[in-house]
Amino acid sequence: MEGTKIRAIEGDEKTHNISKIVPVAPSNTLDIFHAIIFFLLHSLCLFAPFTFSWDALCLALVLNAVCTLFGITLSYHRNLTHKSFKLPKWLEYTFAYIGLHALQGDPIWWVSTHRYHHKFTDTVKDPHSPIAGFWHSHIIWAFYRKNIIEKCGNYDNVKDLEMQAYYRFLRRTHYVHPTALGVLLYALGGFPYIVWGMAVRTILDVHTSSLVNSVCHIWGHQAWKTGDLSRNNGLIALISFGEGWHNNHHAFQFSARHGLEWWQIDVTWYVIKLLERIGLATDVKVPSDLQKQKMLL
């Protein structure tokens, strides 16, 4: 990371060498509960070679694709956080429910954190910036949730979701639903389905999303003058359903399309376009040529 230039203080446009940055110390209050869950899921993955079967592998891949694509990238990120398009309420709520099973938090918490990331990108208030270290941006930040509240605010930026009883319900009960899924998987396939259907696919979900937070703020190409560290990384885009076109996203946060060039593969965008064609997605936002011209480096 030598030579990478970053902003270290909110409102200060000076650049600094990342090798000289002192990591931002998180609050000392470790979220023990989530740390234990994370440890247990990784531990269960150790049983994967001994419980392998083709149906268990297919289960993991299907659940990973459904939970990450429909639950996180399409629902939590582009629909709920950035309002890049509109869905009928029944479909919006369905996709948000699927997102619960990615085990990345309830919609209110996830959306609030991500909006703070965009408000304070790559400053000391950013919940997950590599200015505090690669591993902090990748996963450590998630175990210090109190630190996010201390730095940014207590869900003050997500009133639109807090006003809806459905999302308040998901916040209160969001552990119940993945637990129920685990019970169902155990009934269908025993311990191997728990290992592959819950642990393996969840770890894939979490680390795929985390690579966008970490790698896509360190390695890749910048096409737009966003004033932050965001990068386009084609490899991460391939495994994250288009989220790796991260500099594109930071330049045009409102856009439902992240892969702005024809050759930039963005599976989430293809699904949104399909939903638009069949009349389920409306008010789909993409940047105009004028907006692109203003943001060019």
Where do the domains of the chain lie? 29-295
Q: What is the pLDDT of residues 107-144, one digit of tens each?
A: 999 999 999 999 999 999 999 999 999 999 999 999 99
Q: What is the pLDDT of residues 172-222, one digit of tens each?
A: 999 999 999 999 999 999 999 999 999 999 999 999 999 999 999 999 999
| Residue 25 reports pLDDT greater than 50 | no
Average pLDDT over residues 289-293: 96
pLDDT of residue 238: 98
Average pLDDT over residues 2-22: 40
| Residue 153 reports pLDDT greater than 90 | no
Q: Inter-axis angle of helices 89-100 and 176-194, to 10 degrees?
A: 50
- Residue 146: pLDDT band (50, 70, 90) is confident
Q: What is the pLDDT of residues 70-117, one digit of tens each?
A: 999 999 999 999 999 999 999 999 999 999 999 999 999 999 999 999
**Are the C-beta atoms of 50 and 192 separated by less than 8 Å?**
no
pLDDT of residue 28: 62
Say how many C-beta atoms besides its own lie within 10 A of residue 263's C-beta.
6
| Residue 18 reports pLDDT greater than 90 | no
pLDDT of residue 16: 37
- Residue 11: pLDDT band (50, 70, 90) is very low
Higher pLDDT among residues 237 and 23, named by residue: 237
Closest CA to 204 of 8, 72, 32: 72
Closest CA to 175 of 72, 101, 93, 110: 101
Would you call 30 exposed, middle or buried from its count of C-beta atoms within 10 A (0-12, 13-18, 19+)? middle
Per the prediction, the chain carries an average pLDDT of 91
* Measured CA angle at 21 (ends 150, 243), to 5 deg: 70
Return the HEC string of the chain. CCCCEECCCCCCCCCEEHHHCCCCCCCCCCCHHHHHHHHHHHHHHCCHHHCCCHHHHHHHHHHHHHHHHHHHHHHHHHHHHCCCCECCHHHHHHHHHHHHCCCCCCHHHHHHHHHHHHHCCCCCCCCCCHHHCHHHHHCHHHHCHHHHHHHCCCCCCCHHHHCCHHHHHHHHHCCHHHHHHHHHHHHHHHHHHHHHHHHHHHHHHHHHHHHHHHHHHCCCECCECCCCCCCECHHHHHHCCCCCEHHHHHHCCCCCCCCCCCCCCCHHHHHHHHHHHCCCCECCCCCCHHHHHHHEC
pLDDT of residue 180: 98
